[in-house]
Structure 1
Amino acid sequence: MASIALHICAPSEVDGARIADIHLAAMDSNPLLHVQFPTPDSLARLRDYLEAYIIKELHDPTKGILVARLEDTREIISFVKWDHPTHGADAGNEKLETGDIKEIEGCDPLYLERYAATAATAKERYFGNNKCYSLSFVCTHPKYQGLDAGSMLTQEVIKRAAGENMPVYLESTKAAVKMYEKLGFTKLGEFSLAIPGQGKDMDMCEVYEETCMVRTPYLS
């Protein structure tokens, strides 16, 4: 599969539906998603919200988004989103979880708010208000894992950031840390959030963890 040719490019509004589908497919194994949106109906509403939100982002100069397409079929298989360099409290590049996504019927706003607040506190602790390219999502459809699409997209953001002598900051799931380390990111610290257990253990609690990482422009 690794020999399949991919094309990195900017999406258009008509790609919003596909990107939303990839987002949910890629995040399906993430327990936090199912705590925030615990029912099939709430996930369906989230999918529609994401499609509209993506189209909005395409016209927002503070946001960036690229997709990876299969060269032969032009099918989108992966995407990356980031916030452009801004500085301080007035930057305006808030997390997805802090907006009107909390108004989606059937979602649990408590865990949207807790995640956003915990991640913001960790970023402030480990990175401060330094200007940076801030990666928000790197998602690949599970069907196309193994093609290095996420790495290619991340490298393109690194290249753009380096052109402005800017670091790239992100919060990584545990599963993706090694991929980012291979791309030159280093660990800054970690944060965690207690969430309800899944499946038969819903009455139990589990710990959801992410790692704060940075890739500085002087690294090769």
Structure 2
Amino acid sequence: MSSNLLLHAQFPSDEALGFLRAWLTKDSVDHLENPSQGILVARKEGTDETLGFVKWTVHREPEGEEAHEELPDSCRAVYVYSLTEEMDPEDVWVLVAIEEARKGHVRYLSVHESGICGPGVGSRLLRSVMSLAEAEGTAVVLESTMGAVAFYRKLGFEIMQGLDMMLPAIGSSDPTELYEERCMVWRSDKL
């Protein structure tokens, strides 16, 4: 299981993680069927081994209020939905960033451990999304854990907003640990 504190706060048990895996699978199928969403997969040459993938959504005109998906009791909904519900609307960094202009929102960039700090799989996947965004005339927005901020900066992303919140330590329910993310944006020089 990941060492990401937010993931542990949102999905603190095997049952909750099972729900997340099923949801991510459904979300990936939805990405394949929806023309405003995309997935790129990097495979090791000459094999079926997946080295990494990137998923994104192109945000167009708002389609009204989005309903929350029902979460099982094993998930901590407070840490899933509180990111947008409990904040001042001006501080809801992802929503503000998306409303600022039509943007491609990178939802997941995942690289297998064998590709990390190696052949540049993550950089190549993200550059592909950036090229598609440039051709579409959009910017790219993503949320970054603090450990990945330098990686995204090297690719030209800038920090727009930050999110700092207290979360429970892994295996705990008391919010005692500071968790930080940054909302970052990349804009082509042509925009």
> What does residue range 56-95 of structure 1 map to in structure 2 within 5 Å?
56-87=30-61, 89-90=62-63
2:82 to 94, 114, 128: 114
Higher deviation after alignment, 167-176 or 210-219: 210-219
Report the equivalent of 2:72: 104
Residues 137 and 149 (structure 1 numbering): CA distance in 2 closer, same or farther, change over 3 Å?
same
Cα distance between partner residues in 2 of 1:37 and 1:85: 27
Report the equivalent of 2:110: 139
Q: State the SS of the aligned residue for 1:58.
A: helix
Cα contact 2:160–2:183 (8 A) shared by 1: yes
In the TM superposition, residue 66 of structure 1 has moved relative to its aligned partner by 0.8
Cα distance between partner residues in 2 of 1:127 and 1:47: 26
In the TM superposition, residue 190 of structure 1 has moved relative to its aligned partner by 0.9
Cα distance between partner residues in 1 of 2:40 and 2:73: 29
Q: State the SS of the aligned residue for 1:194.
A: strand
Cα distance between partner residues in 1 of 2:114 and 2:73: 29
TM-score norm. by structure 1 comes to 0.74
Spell out, residue by residue over 1:111-157, the C-alpha distance to the aligned partner (whole angstroms, 9 max, x if none).
11013445981134556431111111111122432232111110000
Cα contact 1:45–1:105 (8 A) shared by 2: no
In the TM superposition, residue 166 of structure 1 has moved relative to its aligned partner by 1.6
Report the equivalent of 1:17: none
1:165 to 127, 130, 137: 137
Residues 116 and 153 (structure 1 numbering): CA distance in 2 closer, same or farther, change over 3 Å?
farther
What is the aligned-residue identity percentage? 32
Cα distance between partner residues in 1 of 2:14 and 2:160: 36
1:154 to 123, 126, 130: 126
In the TM superposition, residue 194 of structure 1 has moved relative to its aligned partner by 1.7
Q: RMSD across aligned C-alpha pairs, in angstroms?
A: 2.5
Aligned residues: 186
5+ residue gaps, structure 2, are none
TM-score norm. by structure 2 comes to 0.85
Report the equivalent of 1:216: 187
Residues 203 and 84 (structure 1 numbering): CA distance in 2 closer, same or farther, change over 3 Å?
closer
Spell out, residue by residue over 1:73-95, the C-alpha distance to the aligned partner (whole angstroms, 9 max, x if none).
121121111111413x3278x6x
Residues 91 and 177 (structure 1 numbering): CA distance in 2 closer, same or farther, change over 3 Å?
farther
Residues 56 and 128 (structure 1 numbering): CA distance in 2 closer, same or farther, change over 3 Å?
closer
